[in-house]
Amino acid sequence: MSATDARKQLFKLIEQAGKPGACIEITHGGVSKVVVMPTEDFEGWVETLEVMASPGLLEDIQEGLKEVRSGKTTSLETVKKQLKL
């Protein structure tokens, strides 16, 4: 979609781009400049990039999930006591 069309149809663009999985490319002078997508999708991309950029974070997350599945958890009250909150 051209920037001119996006400007003319801003509210329609927002409605379309707000749907899960939507991704609308906006061009200026025939060149792709930006992509409009739902906030939730964008936040997911940012989170994924953070995980990929942090060595060991994915492994830590996977280990934590294993502990939760096996019932190896700590209650909120116990954590508060340990942290003296």
The token pair at 26 is: 């906006």
pLDDT at residue 76 tops 90: yes
Reported as a single tens digit per residue, the pLDDT across 57-75 is 889 989 999 999 999 999 9
Q: Which domain holds residue 65?
A: 41-83
Report the mean per-residue pLDDT for the chain: 94
What's the total number of domains in the chain?
A: 2
Whether residue 55 is found in the same domain as residue 27 = no
Give the pLDDT of residue 51: 86
The kind and range of the H/E element at 25 are strand 24-28
Give the pLDDT of residue 43: 96
Whether residue 34 is found in the same domain as residue 51 = no
Whether residue 45 is found in the same domain as residue 34 = no
CATH code for the domain of 51: 1.10.1220
Q: How confident is the model at residue 7 (pLDDT cuts 50, 70, 90)?
A: very high
pTM over 0.75: no
The token pair at 9 is: 């149809």
